[in-house]
Amino acid sequence: MDVNKRDRRDVWTPLFFSVVLVVGIIIGFNLRDTLRNKRNIVTVIRQNDKLEELIDLVNEKYVDTVNTNQLYKDAISGILKSLDPHTVYIPADELQSVNDDLDGGFSGIGVEFSVVRDTLAVTGVIDNGPANHAGIEIGDQVIKVDNKLVAGVSITADSIVHLLKGKQHSNVSVTLKQSIGSGIKQIPITRDIIPTYSVEASIMLNAATGFIKINRFTATTYDEFSAALKKLQSQGAQQLIIDLRDNPGGYLDAATSIADDLLDDNKLIVYTKGTHTAKTEYRASGKGLFEKGKLAILIDEGSASASEILSGAVQDWDRGVIIGRRSFGKGLVQEQYDLPNGAALRLTVAKYYTPSGRCIQRSFANGKEAYMEDFEKRFETGELVRGDSVQADTTPFYTSTHRVVYGGGGIKPDVFIPYDTSRLSAALQSMIYSQELKTAVWDYFIENRKQLKFKDIAEFSTSFNAQSQIADKYLVNLGTDVRKAALKELSKPANNDYFKLQIKAQLARLLFRDNGYYTISLKDDDAVNKALGLFSSDHYLSLIGRK
């Protein structure tokens, strides 16, 4: 019996090993195909060793002292140089600040400030924040942060921010010169999470029109937008202007969530795909907050990425009218990968496509420097004034009403608003945003704060008319040559009117925060006024192919 069993094993053993060999070969070929584009771990280690060896050699033998960390950064920059302009390495010391911009908050004390005469002046106090609870008021001047003197030492705003930020629940001592009286007071403050708002303003422009300004797309943007829209609707908003000008983008999900509120159920908002990334579709789902009603999206050359996703979806579905100038042209999707050294890599993993199928990414074939200088090129060619840009992609795509649109260079608006070369001239803009004007407005506010009592923005808008007084004080404090140049600029009636409007808007910001600023400044905004005009005319429907 035992002999017979052994004989049968001898017969089947070669066959068994043959089958195992064949299966192994098949698995091997499959693994080869699967891992074709993955680097062997031994190769990775060897390449890293080469880089370490090279940097160590430079560090030990180079004629001068070198910064090893900088060598690593330069090596990484060299690796990324041939990739797209939006794949970037974020050093560890910059990562927290970069993430704060998109996370919707940071740990600090909760004040807004401006440097006036080399002294930190508190221009705003966040409601229910640590500074508010500690009794800090608008107009207080910060003399010290902990034991570090910050007044009269030419300290920069960035340095002050660094001092005031810190870990949540950590303590900081702030020495103040109080706005009322001349007392000096030291106040201990416990840091906490301070929200940063991406919905910069939400106001009613008239009885039926709401306006929402979004400055970037963060983790909290949709919640902010939803709350703002609901409030405007409760005030009677039946038509809506969304301002995405100079909005550089941010989280894709924030843009698609807002688009979901504007589009009917199941409509495609955007889709993404890449060589190593499967196609992903984002669609509207459920009933949105504003699926009906006239809609305008404002864009310009500073509107990028998520801003273009939102405006592209609205345009492709003919849901509203796009007003302004051609957008930035960023159609790439990044994912952030945290690295062991505390730094991070934002790597482009896919392209996004609007509902009609267009990718609006403009070419970066001439290098990153030329890519980033696109605004200057548009200015030189006259596109910012005339709007007659050469379309980079001549392939036609079609909106839901069969209007022709193109990709390859940003979102081209339905209504062009030229760049105002007079109002937005470097000379006038430098006056409006100068430290001297900021100081003149601040001084007026401090000297007259008891008289600046208005029940709301509307009353301020109609009642306040002391802009000339502030302008005169601004001019008096200028040097002779600068004053002469400023007077020349203000000799043009349109420039003078705009300058005084901006003075009033800056004061309104001190009194009513950003809503106050936009309530005043938008009165002379060409894009907003164009949208309001379209809302009240039949041309709105013809622009989006519905008439």
Contact between 396 and 385 under an 8 Å Cβ cutoff? The reply is no
List Cβ neighbours of 435 (8 Å cut-off, separation of 6 or more): 115
Domain shared by 206 and 180, yes or no: no
Nearest to 311 by CA among 401, 420, 405, 208: 405
In a domain, 546, yes or no: no
Amino acid 17: pLDDT: 47
Domain shared by 305 and 236, yes or no: yes
Amino acid 334: pLDDT: 94
Rounded CA separation 131/3 (Å): 93
Please give the DSSP secondary-structure letter assigned to residue 399: -
Average pLDDT over residues 58-67: 87
Domain shared by 189 and 225, yes or no: no
**Residues present in the chain in total:** 547
DSSP conformation letters of 338-353? E-TTS-EEEEEEEEEE
| pLDDT tens by residue, 481-531 | 999 999 999 999 999 999 999 999 999 999 999 999 999 999 999 999 999
Number of domains, the chain: 5
Domain shared by 401 and 509, yes or no: no
Q: Strand, helix or coil at 375? A: helix
The least confident of 72-81, 118-127, 256-265, 470-479 is 72-81
Amino acid 413: pLDDT: 96
Rounded CA separation 281/264 (Å): 16
Tell me which residue range forms the domain holding 47: 42-82
In a domain, 359, yes or no: yes
In a domain, 118, yes or no: yes
Nearest to 330 by CA among 430, 436, 416, 255: 255
DSSP conformation letters of 226-282? HHHHHHHHHTT--EEEEE-TT---B-HHHHHHHHHHHS-TT-EEEEEEETTEEEEEE
Amino acid 2: pLDDT: 42
The least confident of 70-79, 304-313, 443-452 is 70-79
* Identity of the highest mean pLDDT range in 27-31, 36-40, 176-180: 176-180
In a domain, 94, yes or no: no
**Which two three-digit tokens encode residue 460?**
């301020």
In a domain, 545, yes or no: no
Domain shared by 162 and 229, yes or no: no
Domain shared by 71 and 203, yes or no: no
Domain shared by 409 and 523, yes or no: no
pLDDT at 420 over 80: yes
In a domain, 49, yes or no: yes
Contact between 533 and 310 under an 8 Å Cβ cutoff? The reply is no
Domain shared by 13 and 54, yes or no: no
Give me the residue label for tokens 């370490």: 52
- The mean predicted confidence, pLDDT, of the chain is 89
| pLDDT tens by residue, 275-310 | 999 999 999 998 999 999 999 999 999 999 999 999
Q: Residue 291 sits in a domain of what CATH number?
A: 3.90.226.10
pLDDT at 34 over 50: no
Average pLDDT over residues 343-372: 92
Contact between 196 and 112 under an 8 Å Cβ cutoff? The reply is no
pLDDT at 33 over 50: no
Q: Residue 175 sits in a domain of what CATH number?
A: 2.30.42.10
Q: Strand, helix or coil at 355? A: coil
Average pLDDT over residues 72-95: 88
Domain shared by 293 and 412, yes or no: yes
The least confident of 10-14, 266-270, 461-465 is 10-14
Q: Strand, helix or coil at 60? A: helix
In a domain, 93, yes or no: no
Domain shared by 455 and 356, yes or no: no
Domain shared by 523 and 440, yes or no: yes
CB hemisphere CA count around 440 (13 angstroms): 24
480-484-485 Cα angle (round to 5): 120
| pLDDT tens by residue, 102-147 | 888 899 999 999 989 899 999 999 988 999 999 999 999 999 999 9
DSSP conformation letters of 61-112? H-SS---HHHHHHHHHHHHHTTS-TT-EEE-HHHHHHHHHHHHTEEEE--EE
pLDDT at 27 over 70: no
CB hemisphere CA count around 496 (13 angstroms): 9
Rounded CA separation 407/384 (Å): 18
Domain shared by 181 and 253, yes or no: no
Predicted model pTM: 0.87
Of 384, 419, 454, the one marking the end of a domain is: 419
* Identity of the highest mean pLDDT range in 100-114, 320-334, 363-377, 378-392: 320-334
Of 375, 394, 419, the one marking the end of a domain is: 419
The model's confidence at residue 455, banded by pLDDT at 50, 70 and 90, is very high
In a domain, 309, yes or no: yes
Average pLDDT over residues 22-27: 46
Of 357, 388, 419, the one marking the end of a domain is: 419
Amino acid 65: pLDDT: 87
